[in-house]
Amino acid sequence: MLLVSEPVLGPDEQTALASVIESGWVTMGDRVREFEQAFAHLHEAEDSIAVGSCTAALHLILHALGIGPGDEVLVPSLTFVATANSVLYVGARPVFVDIDSAEIPLMSLDDAEAKCTSRTKAIILVHFAGYLAHRDTWQSFARRKGLLLIEDAAHAPGLPAVGTFGEAAAFSFYGNKNMTTAEGGAIIARSRALRETIRRARSHGMTSSTRQRLTSRRPDYDVTILGFNYRMDDLRAAVGLAQLKKLPEWNDTRRRLSLCYRQLMAEHCPAVMIPFANPWPSAHHLMPVVLPTATDRQPVIDRLRKRGIQTTIHYPAVHHLTFYRELYPDTFLPRTEEFAQRELTLPLHPRMNPADVEQVVNSLAAALGTEFPLGAIA
């Protein structure tokens, strides 16, 4: 089966894990700090904070910024449910915003403006599929409305300018992301004070870590704020360090495969639309396509699977998921809903090559009734 995503793990990661095990220190220690510094350096940031997941990162950012009961946060419905969940975690209300269009499935500025109220305190921008939202536009909007700007950058690690939009950005290292630590995430925050609050909150609000207490030989600590157990361990940080070295090359491979997809699809599946005009700043996390309006998507999925090709959907609209539909039954986002009905995510990861892309396009053309001979493409 040609998978939608597949992590690249090998001897480097095995050696990194063995080294941690041999050291005898597997919790949050020196390798976590080394990973934080390396991740920050890649993004030209002062520092970063490693955490247990991107969900934890979003929760910590909102918590540290003081978002809470009575506040509203603008979020897209075209995202993974964790984006909205993190708002509920702090007692605030997620307000779902429509996408701009099927061609640009990012949060609509016009709809965001229409959804603003006196209770709106922040925006969570999602760089869907790895494609960057327009920074200047959203920064201007946030300043004009007096809103905090947060990036959900789960799909965009290693991309220049990511993490520079507003107060903070959250990243994911889940197994299907551009780089992985199995589970894990990171935060880049502009303010040193905000970073320190987040750093303390990720570990129960404690004033010192176990490693720091060992080094200083002082066993005492204090708890100064409400905190959580959102730490990253040295095992995952070690894997992250190995992966981070390869991330630029992997992102470039994704870029080249995406370009190959666009060229072949334009010639052999012209009725299928690929979002985001090329070029567009992107980490190319996903390969989303939009099927023709009259297409029944499930038979296409089934036909591709029979040919050994996995596909998936990014995403079911969050406001249509049972929990959120019952919580906010009157939400209507026509462009998001149409996109969610027609979107199909094709395989894209660094283990692939152009021949794999040709196989996928050939199979999709066959599934849509426009097959061309395999190997007919130069």
Tokens encoding 284: 């190319």
Ranges of each domain in the chain: 11-241, 248-367
Helices 234-268/30-42 angle, 10° precision: 30
Domain covering 11-241, topology: Aspartate Aminotransferase; domain 2 (3.40.640)
CA distance 360 to 378: 15
Q: With the C-alpha atoms ordered 74, 78, 82, 85, is the resulting torsion angle positive or negative?
A: positive
Helix or strand or coil: residue 165?
coil
Q: What is d(CA 193, CA 46) in angstroms, rounded to the nearest whole number? A: 12
Give me the active site residues, please: 177
Residue 187 near residue 163 (C-beta atoms within 8 A): no
d(CA 174, CA 303): 28
CA distance 115 to 73: 10
Of 283, 288, 286, 311, which Cα lies nearest the Cα of 367?
A: 311
Residues 6+ apart with CB under 8 A from 146: none
The whole-model pTM stands at: 0.94
pLDDT tens, per residue, the chain with 378 residues = 999 999 999 999 999 999 999 999 999 899 999 999 999 999 999 999 999 999 999 999 999 999 999 999 999 999 999 999 999 999 999 999 999 999 999 999 999 999 999 999 999 999 999 999 999 999 999 999 999 999 999 999 999 999 999 999 999 999 999 999 999 999 999 999 999 999 999 999 998 776 666 666 677 789 999 999 999 999 999 999 999 999 999 999 999 999 999 999 999 999 999 999 878 999 999 999 999 998 999 999 999 999 999 999 999 999 999 999 999 999 999 999 999 999 999 999 999 999 999 999 999 999 998 644 444 433
Asked if 207 and 223 count as a contact pair (C-beta separation under 8 A), the reply is yes
Q: How far apart are CA 64 and CA 225, in angstroms?
A: 10
The H or E element that residue 168 is part of is strand 168-172
Q: 248-367 has which CATH code?
A: 3.90.1150.10
Q: Give me 231's structure tokens.
A: 């730490």
Question: CA neighbours within 13 Å on the CB side: how many for 46?
Answer: 9
Are 11-241 and 248-367 equal in CATH topology? no
Identify each DSSP E strand in 57-119 by its residue range. 72-76, 93-97
**Long-range CB contacts (< 8 A, 24+ apart) of 329-332?**
331/77, 331/96
